[in-house]
């Protein structure tokens, strides 16, 4: 997902200053999305989004420190964001790609059935990936002299096993999320 759509999504969830966005992108959750968090890039993107009519801002006066621009999504920005979120989700080849986590985070802005469909799409793709992953080709490679083929095979097995375990854990997590989303409604607290 493009950086401006991510920023637009967060501004759609709550009015934000550029500093608020920087703080979120620098948090653990933001770092998982592997998004740029340089203040200058955030402000350049917000300026472009303002020029495009996607966001507008109000100036908040701050005593003893610089004034803040508090950004909010415009009707045009809301249409752009909803159109982007309505696009079919194509799971990336690498299950570690942050696209799913970003779209899942922004799924608070779509209908629950669309959120469930997003999780199902990711789950089906990753189950199929496990099947392909486990049926890997173990052909002999023409390693350069000095590369021990047996040692290299062990290393590749270790890497493969590690990725397999991460993929299985991802699928398990998706199954739990789907069960929670699609299950019976929780009784009132």
CATH code at 19?
Answer: 1.10.10.10
- Name the residue with tokens 């991510």: 6
DSSP line for 11-66: HHHS-B-HHHHHHHHTSHHHHHTT----HHHHHHHHHHHHHTTSEEEEEEP-TTS-
Same domain for 11 and 49, yes or no, is yes
Where among 30, 59, 86 does a domain terminate? 86
Q: Return per-residue pLDDT of the chain as tens, 189 residues.
A: 888 999 999 999 999 999 999 888 887 666 766 666 678 889 999 999 999 999 999 999 989 988 999 999 999 999 999 999 999 999 999 888 889 999 999 999 999 999 999 999 999 999 999 988 777 777 777 888 888 888 888 888 899 899 899 999 999 999 999 999 988 754 454
Write down the pLDDT at residue 111. 94
Write down the pLDDT at residue 39. 82
Same domain for 112 and 79, yes or no, is no
Same domain for 59 and 108, yes or no, is no
Same domain for 114 and 75, yes or no, is no
188 assigned to some structural domain: no
The domain total for the chain is 2
- The SS3 of residue 146 is coil
Same domain for 173 and 111, yes or no, is yes
Write down the pLDDT at residue 33. 66
Task: Name every residue whose Cβ is closer than 8 Å to that of residue 178 and which is 6 or more positions away in sequence.
Answer: 116, 119, 120, 123
Write down the pLDDT at residue 97. 87
Same domain for 82 and 104, yes or no, is no
Where among 39, 55, 86 does a domain terminate? 86
Write down the pLDDT at residue 36. 65
Same domain for 112 and 178, yes or no, is yes
Same domain for 108 and 177, yes or no, is yes
Write down the pLDDT at residue 143. 80
Q: Residue 27: give the domain boundaries.
A: 3-86
Same domain for 29 and 76, yes or no, is yes
Same domain for 70 and 116, yes or no, is no
What number of CA atoms fall less than 13 Å from residue 36's CA on the CB side? 13
Write down the pLDDT at residue 185. 58
187 assigned to some structural domain: no
Report the alpha-carbon distance of residue 32 to residue 24 in Å, rounded.
11
Same domain for 59 and 115, yes or no, is no
Same domain for 53 and 124, yes or no, is no
Write down the pLDDT at residue 187. 46
Token pair belonging to 13: 């969830």
Inter-residue contact 24 to 42 (CB < 8 Å): no
């Amino acid at each position: 997902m493009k950086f401006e759509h991510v920023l637009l999504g967060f501004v759609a969830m709550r009015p934000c200053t550029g500093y608020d966005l920087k703080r979120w992108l620098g948090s653990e959750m933001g770092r998982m999305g592997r998004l740029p968090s340089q203040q200058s890039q955030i402000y350049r993107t917000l300026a472009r989004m303002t020029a495009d009519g996607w966001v507008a801002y109000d100036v908040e006066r701050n005593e003893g420190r610089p004034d803040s621009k508090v950004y909010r999504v415009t009707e045009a920005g809301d249409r752009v964001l909803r159109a982007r979120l309505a696009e079919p989700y194509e799971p990336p080849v690498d299950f570690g790609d942050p696209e799913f986590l970003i779209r899942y985070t922004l799924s608070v802005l779509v209908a629950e059935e669309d959120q469930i469909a997003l999780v199902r799409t990711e789950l089906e793709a990753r189950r199929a990936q496990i099947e392909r992953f486990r049926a890997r080709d173990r052909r002999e490679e023409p390693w350069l002299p000095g590369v021990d083929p047996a040692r290299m095979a062990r290393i590749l097995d270790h890497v493969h096993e590690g990725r397999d375990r991460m993929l299985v854990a991802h699928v398990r997590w998706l199954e739990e999320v789907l069960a929670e989303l699609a299950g019976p409604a929780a009784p009132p607290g």
